[in-house]
Amino acid sequence: MQTVNVAVLGMGTVGQGVAIMLIKQQEFWQKQLGCQLVLKRILEKYHDKQLDFDRGEIAMSGNWQDIVGDPEIHIVIETMGGIEPAKTFISEALQSGKHVVTANKDLLALHGQELFAIAKEKGVDLYFEASVGGAIPILSALRQNLTADPLQEVMGIVNGTTNYILTRMAKEGGDFSAILADAQKLGYAEANPASDIEGIDSGRKAAILSTLAFHSQVTLDDVYIQGITEITREDMIFADQMGYAIKLLALCKEVEGKIEARVHPTLLPKSHPLASVQDTFNAIFVKGENLGEVMLYGRGGRPFSHSQRHFG
Amino acid sequence: MQTVNVAVLGMGTVGQGVAIMLIKQQEFWQKQLGCQLVLKRILEKYHDKQLDFDRGEIAMSGNWQDIVGDPEIHIVIETMGGIEPAKTFISEALQSGKHVVTANKDLLALHGQELFAIAKEKGVDLYFEASVGGAIPILSALRQNLTADPLQEVMGIVNGTTNYILTRMAKEGGDFSAILADAQKLGYAEANPASDIEGIDSGRKAAILSTLAFHSQVTLDDVYIQGITEITREDMIFADQMGYAIKLLALCKEVEGKIEARVHPTLLPKSHPLASVQDTFNAIFVKGENLGEVMLYGRGGRPFSHSQRHFG
């Protein structure tokens, strides 16, 4: 049986989660894939870091050359986040003929085009499904199943933290700042929540969605962004009385040949499928000429633990 | 530029809809695929049938040999429905190295395994995405994106007619038989509605979903089926008062290594994402060990026209 060797970069919560899944599900995947998927190497700058699992024979190193220089590594999974050194590592991995899996939306929203060009040139794959919508297979759908139809619009709730805050504001009638503080305490919002509540995280995802849906090249700078920090208790109450929900939406449209990508709080009629997406759930709504309306719904972040969400 | 030639079998509403799309979207698909997708031949037993579109140079014949014998036909799209002659045609098309696309769930639920074996042997594809959930890419998701996770449960609203009737019963408080009669008048239910209201159509889809989700071989005979004909006005009112919606669900589970596939009316808490799926919409809910809960939602039937639904 063929063996496919994997390296995981970064042993944060996400990286450890991936490593544990690779170890735990080896037998299941062997049946599914007809080959052995083996976690062979780990990159972690603190290479004496205590891990949540027994790494057994798996080599752990703080030196990137140990990984990129190993011709037996076929797939590199990047979970470090941030722009550098992730960009250099991914680019060098692709250059040396390794497939790469990443959920690094900051990087993809800024340098996606460049990295995809390298992957194409080298004939390897750059997978990034989890960068938008977590477990929801929206990016594959946009790249494969839904490509037969000219798409008109993609809109979605793509940030779990803001949807959690808005859901609680709607249910409890509380103030934004009080609920944000509580969300931070409960682990639904980060200590520095700016990227989520100001809509930047959703903006990055809007760039990725627009790029795929309209076969274009949209970066974060092209996206109009407004967060949820100005939403008040009163806004929520008035919206509710008029039959609307307030949701932070990423909106991508093609209008007369021009692509429009926006993120802002939006009034949605309560009968709209996106209006009933609650708590940290994500959902993406796609409208096509022939397919009509399709919605994909699921957990945005990793399901491992609520208090350690990382994918936004 | 490479040319890929297509034949469409059957010029009913679905077949004509497919033909019109093939003609209308030729330029769009050329850009998407980098090759020309050309409708070359049509099979229609009434070969002098009046069509809704101008077929120009496209050859129309009542003789299957004209199509299976043409080595230039690469893809056969079957839209005739029923078991025979669809089964013979699909099987001969695969045998002669042609890819086949079908939404014939009656056939797949009974003879899917046999046809897939031929496709595999001949190295050609047998696509059947539209057989469950219409435009919703659920089958690809089960075959590709969601295969990385051991699935625990698949459940869905997979029949538009029954969901339309139940939605109206819930909203209007009407009787089953009165609303069925009205649905037939409006074109949401067929003149002979047995296959829909007795749950057979959902049962076929449950067989296909179970087969894919659990890598098994489930046929219609393995599915426990109960339709919606016994649901009363009072059932709906009591369910509503207790905070539940009544939906006809296809339920597929793996319980202690045994696959359980069932179709029956089910009480769903109103907060469940499937509870708010209205009218003729379909939705399929997938639960996996690591991915948590994912739901795909969209139109079950073809979006062309409400009064001529065919995919159930």
Measured between CA atoms, the residue of chain A closest to residue B29 is A148
DSSP state of A55: -
Question: Angle, to 10 degrees, between the axis of helix B233-241 and the axis of helix B160-172?
Answer: 70
Which chain B positions have a beta carbon within 8 Å of A146's beta carbon? 137
In chain B, where does DSSP find H-type helix?
13-24, 26-33, 65-68, 86-95, 105-122, 138-143, 160-172, 176-186, 194-197, 200-213, 233-241
Residues paired with B59 in a beta bridge: B41
Which chain B positions have a beta carbon within 8 Å of A299's beta carbon? 291-294
A27-77 per-position pLDDT tens digit: 888 887 788 999 999 999 987 889 999 999 999 999 999 999 999 999 999
Q: What is the pLDDT of residue B149?
A: 79
**B141 CB within 8 Å of a chain A CB:** yes
Whether residue B311 is predicted with pLDDT greater than 70 in this model: the reply is no
Higher pLDDT, residue A160 or B28: A160
User: Which sequence spans correspond to the domains of chain A?
Assistant: 3-127, 138-308
Whether residue A303 is predicted with pLDDT greater than 70 in this model: the reply is no
Q: Where are the beta strands (DSSP E) in chain A?
A: 3-9, 36-43, 59-61, 73-78, 99-102, 126-127, 151-157, 224-225, 244-255, 258-269, 281-288, 292-299
**B298 CB within 8 Å of a chain A CB:** yes
Q: What is the pLDDT of residue B309?
A: 40
Q: Kindly determine whether residue B144 and residue A140, on different chains, have CB atoms separated by under 8 Å.
A: yes
CATH match of B139-308 with 3.40.50.300: no
Give the three-state DSSP class for B13: helix
Which chain B positions have a beta carbon within 8 Å of A150's beta carbon? 25, 28
pLDDT band at B301; cut points 50, 70, 90? low
φ, ψ at B151 (rounded to 5°): -80, 145
A201-232 per-position pLDDT tens digit: 999 999 999 988 988 889 899 999 999 999 99
Whether residue A263 is predicted with pLDDT greater than 60 in this model: the reply is yes
The mean pLDDT value for A266-290 works out to 91
Higher pLDDT, residue B157 or B105: B157
Measured between CA atoms, the residue of chain A closest to residue B213 is A32
Q: Kindly determine whether residue A141 and residue B136, on different chains, have CB atoms separated by under 8 Å.
A: no
Mean pLDDT of chain B: 89
Residue A105 designated active-site: no
A87-113 per-position pLDDT tens digit: 999 999 999 999 999 989 889 888 888
Q: Structure pTM?
A: 0.83
**A144 CB within 8 Å of a chain B CB:** yes
Q: What is the pLDDT of residue A306?
A: 36
In angstroms, the separation between the Cα of residue B225 and the nearest Cα of chain A is 27
The mean pLDDT value for B142-151 works out to 79
- The rounded distance, in Å, linking the Cα atoms of A103 and B49 is 53
Which chain B positions have a beta carbon within 8 Å of A291's beta carbon? 135, 298-299, 303
Q: What is the pLDDT of residue A74?
A: 95
In angstroms, the separation between the Cα of residue B229 and the nearest Cα of chain A is 27
Q: What dihedral angle (degrees, nearest 10) is formed by the CA atoms of A60, A66, A70, A75?
A: 60
CATH match of A138-308 with 3.30.470.20: no
Q: What is the pLDDT of residue B157?
A: 97
The mean pLDDT value for A225-245 works out to 95
In angstroms, the separation between the Cα of residue A181 and the nearest Cα of chain B is 26
User: Is the predicted ipTM greater than 0.95, yes or no?
Assistant: no
Q: Kindly determine whether residue B299 and residue A292, on different chains, have CB atoms separated by under 8 Å.
A: yes
The per-residue b/e assignment along B251-281, b for 16 or more CB within 10 angstroms, e otherwise, is bbbbeeeebbbbbebbbbeeebbbbbbbebb
Which CATH architecture does the domain made up of A3-127 adopt? 3-Layer(aba) Sandwich (3.40)
B40-62 per-position pLDDT tens digit: 999 999 878 899 999 999 999 99
Q: What is the pLDDT of residue A137?
A: 84
Which chain A positions have a beta carbon within 8 Å of B150's beta carbon? 25, 28
Whether residue A236 is predicted with pLDDT greater than 70 in this model: the reply is yes
- The rounded distance, in Å, linking the Cα atoms of A19 and A195 is 27
Do A209 and A156 meet the contact criterion of CB atoms below 8 Å apart?
yes
B272-293 per-position pLDDT tens digit: 889 989 999 999 999 988 788 8
Measured between CA atoms, the residue of chain B closest to residue A298 is B294
Of B25, B136, B278, the CB nearest to A294: B136
Do A170 and A260 meet the contact criterion of CB atoms below 8 Å apart?
no
The mean pLDDT value for B93-110 works out to 92
CA dihedral sign of residues B108, B109, B114, B120: positive
Tell me which residue of B278, B169, B172 sits closest to B230, measured CA to CA: B169
**B122 CB within 8 Å of a chain A CB:** no
Mean pLDDT of chain A: 89
Query: How many Cα atoms occupy the beta-carbon half-sphere of B216 within 13 Å?
Result: 18
Catalytic residue (one of A105, A205, A247, A253): A205
Of A21, A25, A299, the CB nearest to B292: A299
**B34 CB within 8 Å of a chain A CB:** no
Whether residue B310 is predicted with pLDDT greater than 50 in this model: the reply is no
Q: What is the pLDDT of residue A305?
A: 37
**A145 CB within 8 Å of a chain B CB:** yes
Q: Kindly determine whether residue B297 and residue A299, on different chains, have CB atoms separated by under 8 Å.
A: no
